[in-house]
Amino acid sequence: MQYCHDCEMEVERGPMFCPECGSELAANREEGEVTSDWSSGDPGDDGDTFDQTCDSESTDRCENPISEESGQGSTDPSNSRTRTDDVVSFPFSFPLGKNGKPLALNSAFIFFFWLVVPLLTSSGYTYRVGRAAARGDDDPPPFDDWGEMTMDGLLILVGSLVMALPFLVVIILIAVALGAVGVSSPLWLPILGTGMLALVGISYVAHATIPVMIGTGSLRKTFSDRRVLTFAFSLHYLKGALLLFVFGSVLYIAFGIIASILFLTVIGMPLLIVLVPLMCAYAMEMQFTLWGRIYNEAADAGAVPPVDQDDPLGFEY
């Protein structure tokens, strides 16, 4: 059994955080200091640690120093909100909040994607939609503060490039190996098959970056302390990946049917021009909303630190 010093109760071994109050769990009642798997282990880095030091003879609140620049607040339950929305319907309905006005503005920015900057702004807003879902907000955030959202999108682009590095390395290794053995070699197909499996595995793990970004609110914290790997091998991430595959397939089929019908009609062509960026914006917001919902669920289970109500929606270094 694990013991929570704040609630003074024993919890079944498994989660890192108390499901009642969000505090980290000690291995037993006597243990006064615990270290999260999401901690850097460096006591001098307040922004990357969730270490708590408690007096074993006291029931006072443990110290939980988290720097303001980290974007993470206290794990006090009064500041975090657990979502009770249906995980199936919520990702589809949440982006439509506020009468769909933020979604419409987002699609307008995607329409001018070739200008690059509007695409970065759209990416920044899409991230904030997922962050709002993880935070427990009732509606998506307003589409304002374009400058800050553009900076968020720029940092997300940097994170995407980091996420793409393993793909590039594997592709180069596959090309070098295939070139060395030659097409006529019996090793050609096994090397190609092994490389494809490696790319699939890397893709699965790399996409865990999205929910971790949503949860941490920081580029630096996302790629530190094995956060991505830890979340990638959790059941919460597996659940989210399966749901995303199903939801994405449904949207793809629905959009294909609607686009085919509009394409065959004269009046439908102008509507199709508007529909394409709108569906792109909706699909991306649905994806980030789902990951925000999954992260909120994981935080409720004590697997990851929660996103508090007073945490900012923006993404920082």
- Report pLDDT digits (tens) over 49-60: 434 444 433 333
Q: What's the domain count of the chain?
A: 2
| Domain contains 80 | no
**b (16+ CB within 10 A) / e for 23-52:** bbbbeeeeeeebebebbbeeeeeebbbbbb
Q: Confirm if 17 and 37 have CB atoms less than 8 A apart.
A: no
| Domain contains 83 | no
| Predicted pLDDT of residue 225 | 81
In the predicted model, what is the mean pLDDT of residues 291-311? Answer: 88
Q: Are residues 158 and 104 in the same domain?
A: yes
Q: Confirm if 155 and 213 have CB atoms less than 8 A apart.
A: no
Confidence at 119, pLDDT banded by 50, 70, 90: very high
Distance of alpha carbon 79 from alpha carbon 65, whole angstroms:
16
Residues near 162 by beta carbon (within 8 Å), at least 6 away in sequence: 223
Nearest C-alpha neighbor of 232 from the set 168, 163, 167 = 163
Q: Identify the weakest region by mean pLDDT among 94-103, 134-143, 268-277.
A: 268-277
| Predicted pLDDT of residue 35 | 42
Q: Are residues 58 and 156 in the same domain?
A: no
Maximal CA-CA distance, the chain = 78
In the predicted model, what is the mean pLDDT of residues 234-253? Answer: 93
Q: Are residues 45 and 115 in the same domain?
A: no
| Predicted pLDDT of residue 243 | 95
Q: Identify the weakest region by mean pLDDT among 11-25, 53-67, 139-153, 274-288.
A: 53-67
Confidence at 5, pLDDT banded by 50, 70, 90: low
Nearest C-alpha neighbor of 167 from the set 226, 215, 227, 209 = 209
| Domain contains 29 | yes
Q: Are residues 159 and 19 in the same domain?
A: no
Domain that holds residue 56: 1-65
Q: Are residues 210 and 285 in the same domain?
A: yes
More confident residue, 24 or 88: 88
More confident residue, 205 or 78: 205
pLDDT at 317 > cutoff 50: yes
Q: Are residues 31 and 152 in the same domain?
A: no
pLDDT at 296 > cutoff 70: yes
Q: Are residues 162 and 208 in the same domain?
A: yes
Q: Are residues 52 and 169 in the same domain?
A: no
Q: What is the percentage of the chain residues whose pLDDT exceeds 90?
A: 37
Express each pLDDT in 259-295 by its tens digit: 888 888 877 778 888 888 999 999 999 999 999 999 9
Confidence at 311, pLDDT banded by 50, 70, 90: confident
| Predicted pLDDT of residue 68 | 38
In the predicted model, what is the mean pLDDT of residues 179-196? Answer: 86
| Domain contains 262 | yes
| Domain contains 75 | no
Confidence at 73, pLDDT banded by 50, 70, 90: very low
Q: Are residues 48 and 149 in the same domain?
A: no
| Predicted pLDDT of residue 268 | 78
Confidence at 23, pLDDT banded by 50, 70, 90: low
Distance of alpha carbon 17 from alpha carbon 3, whole angstroms:
10
| Predicted pLDDT of residue 55 | 42
Q: Confirm if 290 and 2 have CB atoms less than 8 A apart.
A: no
* Type of residue numbered 17: F
| Domain contains 46 | yes
Q: Are residues 39 and 149 in the same domain?
A: no
Q: Are residues 111 and 37 in the same domain?
A: no
More confident residue, 76 or 222: 222
Distance of alpha carbon 289 from alpha carbon 305, whole angstroms:
18
CB-CB neighbours of 287 under 10 Å? 22
pLDDT at 38 > cutoff 70: no
Query: What is the three-state SS of the chain?
Result: CEEECCCCEEECCCCCECCCCCCECECCCCCCEECCCCCCCCCCCHHHCCCEECCCCCCCCCECCCCHHHCCCCCCCCCECCCCCCCCCHHHHHHHCHHHHHHHHHHHHHHCHHHCHHHHHHHHHHHHHHHHHHHCCCCCCCCCCHHHHHHHHHHHHHHHHHHHHHHHHHHHHHHHHHHHHCCCCCCHHHHHHHHHHHHHHHHHHHCCHHHHHHHHCEHHHHCCCCHHHHHHCCHHHHHHHHHHHHHHHHHHHHHHHHHHHHHCCCCHHHHHHHHHHHHHHHHHHHHHHHHHHHHHHHHHCCCCCCCECCCCCCCEC
Confidence at 180, pLDDT banded by 50, 70, 90: confident
Q: Are residues 109 and 30 in the same domain?
A: no
| Domain contains 81 | no
Mean pLDDT of the chain: 79
Residues near 228 by beta carbon (within 8 Å), at least 6 away in sequence: 205, 206, 208, 209, 212, 222
CA distances from 105 to 94, 108, 144, 307 (A): 15, 5, 10, 26
| Domain contains 225 | yes
pLDDT at 165 > cutoff 80: yes
